Structure 1
C-alpha cells in the first residue's frame, strides 16, 4: 500500500508540476500586447525574504528585461525551455522547491490601475508601455496585492478612514473569484506604519488632500512571505473614491508623460478609422460633417424592429438617436419607412422621460431645427433640464451639475446637458425662458467639471477616469466658446486635451481606460471631441450638435420588397428606394452583425459592461 501511495504521490506531483506551468504560461491568455520594437519598463525581483534587484530595462519580452537586469548586476539566472515556454529554475541561488512543495518563480504585471496574473510564459509576454514586472518566489497560494478598497465612497482630508488589502484569484473548484484578506502584513502609508488585521484592514490617520504613497510587505523567516512586497500610490481629492495606482514610483512617472497634442493628425487617423468602421447613428453624424456617407446597412434592421414591436415600444433615447442618425444619412425622420419618428417622440409625455432622454431630446430638437408645434417643445425641454439640476457642497465648494440617475453629479451627463443648453447660453431666445438663469447654471456646471479634474487633467467620473468623460466635456466646452486647454482646465501635469490624447490607441482608435483598449464607443466619442477641437481652433466656438440640413425636404427611406420573377425564383438583389433614386443595397441585405469588419468585434468585453449598465439605468424609473 505504501508503494502504491508513493506512486500515487508521484503522479500527483507530475500533475501539479504540469499545472504550474500551464497556470503560469498558458491558461489565462491575458494582455497580448501589440508588436513593439522595445519598451523600457520597470522590473523587480522578490525572493522569499528580500528584494534581490529592481531597475529599468528595455526589451520586447518580460524575460528579456529580466535577463538583462540580472546580467548587468552579476546575479545568476537558471532557466530552461519547456513546451510551455521558459521555466525559471533559480535566481541568485534561490531554486524551485526550496520549501519542499510546489513553490517556484512566478511573475505578475502592474500597469497603472490594474494588476494581472501571468497568462503567458515569461518569454512570451510582450511588453506594453508603462508595464511594471514583478518576478517573485511563491506558489499558487502566495498572495500579492491586486485589490485595495476603502470603507467610504469618498475619502476626505483630515478624516480617518480604513483601507482593505486583499488578493483576489479565480478558484477553479468553485468556479468563482475568491477574495483573500491580507492579514498580519506591514503597511506603510507615507511614513506611518500599520499592521493589517484579520480582515486585511488598517485604520489610516487623517491625511492631507493629494497624492500618498503606500507599501506592503510580509517577510517570514524560512517561510514563504505573507504577501509579496509591493508599493504604489493613491490620490485623495475630497470628491471621489481614491484611485489606486499600483505601479512603483518610477513607472508611475513614465505613465504620466502625455502624448504630443497633434489634434489634426489624430483627427485624420480617427476619422479614417470610423469611416471604415461606421456602424451607428453617432458615426453617421461625424462622417456627415465631412460629406462622407456612413454605412447604412443597419437601417433595414431598424425598420424590421419597428415593424415587429411597434414604434411606441421604442425608448425615447432610441428614437432620439435614430432621428439624428437617419437625418445625418440624408433621409427624412418624418417619414422613415412610413413612420414619423419626430411626431412619435415629441408627442409623448415629458414626465416619462429619463434625465438623459430629456437632454438628448433637446439636442435632437436643435439638430433638426424644429419649428413644428408638438406636446413637447423647446421651452418644456429647457425647463425640465433646469429643474433636474443638482446642487450641493463638497469640500466647501459649490458643485452644480446633472446625473443619469440618483443624487450624485455625473460629469458625463453634466457635459451632455451643457451641450444641449449651449444655444441659449450663447444668446438664442425662447419665450418664457430666462437666459440669465440658463447661463448661471451652465457657468456653475463648467466650474464643477474643472473641480472634478485630477492633476493629469482627467475628469473623475462616478466610476473613475475614462476617455469618454473627457470627450463629452470637450464637446460641451467648445460649444460655449471655452478653451479646454485654457487656465481653468489646466492642472499640474496636463489639461483636458492632453488627458484625452493620452488614451489614443492603435490606428486612430481610443482606449476607454487602461484596461479596455481600442474601444469602439470610446473612439467614436473621441472623434466628436476631435472635430469640436479642430473647429474651435478656427472659429473660437463650435456646436457639434447643430444640424445643417433642410430636414423638411429630405427624401423618405423605403424598402422595396423582393419580387418573384417569372421562373418563380426570388430575385437576389434587394433595393432601398430613395424616392425616385434606386440604389444597390447589398450591404443593407445583411444584418448589422454581417456588416461589421472581419477583423473582430467592435465592442469588447468592457464595452458590453458599459452598454449593459446603460440598459439597467434605462430600466430605472426617474425619481420625480
Structure 2
C-alpha cells in the first residue's frame, strides 16, 4: 500500500452522472429512484484490481442493517457494478452501499477511506392498478400472441424471448435449432451480430452462452476482431447481449462496455437520433439505441443523448400516434419505440407521446389480426416479425408498469 497522500485512489459514484471527489473520506450520497432493479455504477479514477477481497468489502444493507444479497461485478476497468437483488429492492425502503477500503488499483493503490452511499426506493406511480386502462387488454393480447407464435413454431431468438417473458415454455425444437447452427459453423458465425442475437436467445431459454456446445459466445462478442466498421445495430445488440445476463467483460477486451457505448454515441445522426445507414434519425434504430443505453442513462455521457433521442422520437411521431420508417407507417416501428421508452422508464402512453388522443400503444393494438398475431401494415394479414415484436412490445410495457426492468434482462 502506498502511503503518500497524493497517491490514494479516487472514487466517483455514478448515481446521477459521474461525481468526482479530490479526497474521499466518508461520503453520503442521498439519491432516490423508483427503479426497484436499479444497478449502481461505482467508478474510480484508476484501473481496478477486482478481486474477492475488494468484492467482499462492498456491502448493501437495508435501514435495519440487514445485509442484502446482490451481485457485485466488474463493469469496465474502472467501474464496479452493484446489481439489485434478484427479487428487486422494496419500495419505500432506504438502503446503504458500504464501500470498504480494501479496494485497490492495478498498481496496488488503495481507496483511502470507506465510503457510504445512501439511496431510497420511492413508490412508483406506474404500478399496474385500476388506473391502468390497458392492463386487461394487454394481458389478453399477449396471451393470444404467444399462442400464435407457439402454434406456428418458435424459429428465432425474438420469438423465444416473447414466449419466455410470458412465462411459457419455449419448445425444445428451438434449442435443437441453435445447437445445429452453432455446431455447423464450429462456433464461427457469419456476422458479429449473429453472436449477440444467439446469446439473447440462449438467455431466454436459460442456457449459458459462456459455455454452449463448448463455445464461449460472450467472448465471441467482446473479443471480436471483425466488429470494426460494422453497422450500428451490431454495436447496439452486442451491448444488449452483454447486459442480458450482466456478464463480466475483461478490462483488456477488444470491445468493453465503455467502447460499445462510445461507438453508439459517436454514430448519432445530426438530428440527435440513430439510423441504420443514413444521416437522419429513424424511429426503429433510435429506439433500439435507447434500449441498449438504458442501463447507463445516468452517466453524464449518455444522459443527454438519451434525453435528446426521446425528444426526437416525440417529434417524429405521426399525427395518429404511430411511427413510420422508410416512408411507411408500420407496427414494428411503434413496437421498438415502446420497448425503448419502457427500458428507460418512460411511459409510452404519457403526454409526451400522445398525438390527437392516441399513443404508440393505442396504434400498435390497431394492428392485431383475427388469428392472434399482428400485421406489418394495416389490413395486410398476420406477419411473423410483426407478431413477435408486437408481443415483445406489450410485454415490455407490462414489465414497465410492474417495475421489472428491460425485456432483454434475464438475471
TM interval, short-chain normalised: 0.5 to 0.7
CA contact (8 A) 1:509 1:518 kept: yes
Q: 1:351 to 1:533 in 2, by over 3 A?
A: same
1:353 aligns with 2:227: no
Larger radius of gyration: 1
Query: Deviations 1:495-515 (Å, cap 9, x if unpaired)?
Result: 111111111112320010025
The answer to which structure, 1 or 2, has the higher relative contact order (CA under 8 A, 6+ apart) is: 2
Structure-1 residue corresponding to 2:283: 411
Query: Deviations 1:528-549 (Å, cap 9, x if unpaired)?
Result: 111111222233x73111122x
More helix by share: 2
Instruction: Pick from 147, 154, 171 the counterpart of residue 278 of structure 1.
Output: 154
CA contact (8 A) 2:323 2:334 kept: yes
The separation in 2 between residues aligned to 1:500 and 1:406, in whole angstroms, is 26
1:386 aligns with 2:386: no
1:335 aligns with 2:211: yes
Q: CA deviation at 1:406?
A: 2.2
Say which SS state the counterpart of residue 159 (structure 2) adopts.
helix
More strand by share: 1
Flag as ranges the 4+ runs of structure 1 deviating above 4 A.
none
- Unpaired segments of 5 or more residues in structure 2? 1-133
The separation in 1 between residues aligned to 2:280 and 2:187, in whole angstroms, is 33
Q: CA deviation at 1:323?
A: 0.9
Say which SS state the counterpart of residue 228 (structure 2) adopts.
helix
Q: 1:464 to 1:295 in 2, by over 3 A?
A: same
Structure-2 residue corresponding to 1:366: 243
1:324 aligns with 2:220: no
CA contact (8 A) 2:203 2:410 kept: no
The separation in 2 between residues aligned to 1:270 and 1:488, in whole angstroms, is 28
Say which SS state the counterpart of residue 169 (structure 2) adopts.
coil
Q: CA deviation at 1:286?
A: 2.5
**After superposition, where does 1:521-532 map in structure 2 within 5 Å?**
521-532=385-396
Q: 1:538 to 1:307 in 2, by over 3 A?
A: closer
The separation in 2 between residues aligned to 1:537 and 1:307, in whole angstroms, is 40
Structure-1 residue corresponding to 2:140: 265
Structure-2 residue corresponding to 1:104: none
Structure-1 residue corresponding to 2:343: 479
CA contact (8 A) 1:261 1:501 kept: no
Structure-2 residue corresponding to 1:154: none
The separation in 1 between residues aligned to 2:266 and 2:170, in whole angstroms, is 37
The separation in 1 between residues aligned to 2:327 and 2:137, in whole angstroms, is 28
CA contact (8 A) 2:183 2:213 kept: no
Q: Which moved more, 1:487-496 or 1:310-319?
A: 310-319
- Unpaired segments of 5 or more residues in structure 1? 1-258, 392-398, 428-434, 549-624
**After superposition, where does 1:582-597 map in structure 2 within 5 Å?**
none
Query: Deviations 1:227-272 (Å, cap 9, x if unpaired)?
Result: xxxxxxxxxxxxxxxxxxxxxxxxxxxxxxxx99922221222222
- Alignment size in residue pairs: 274
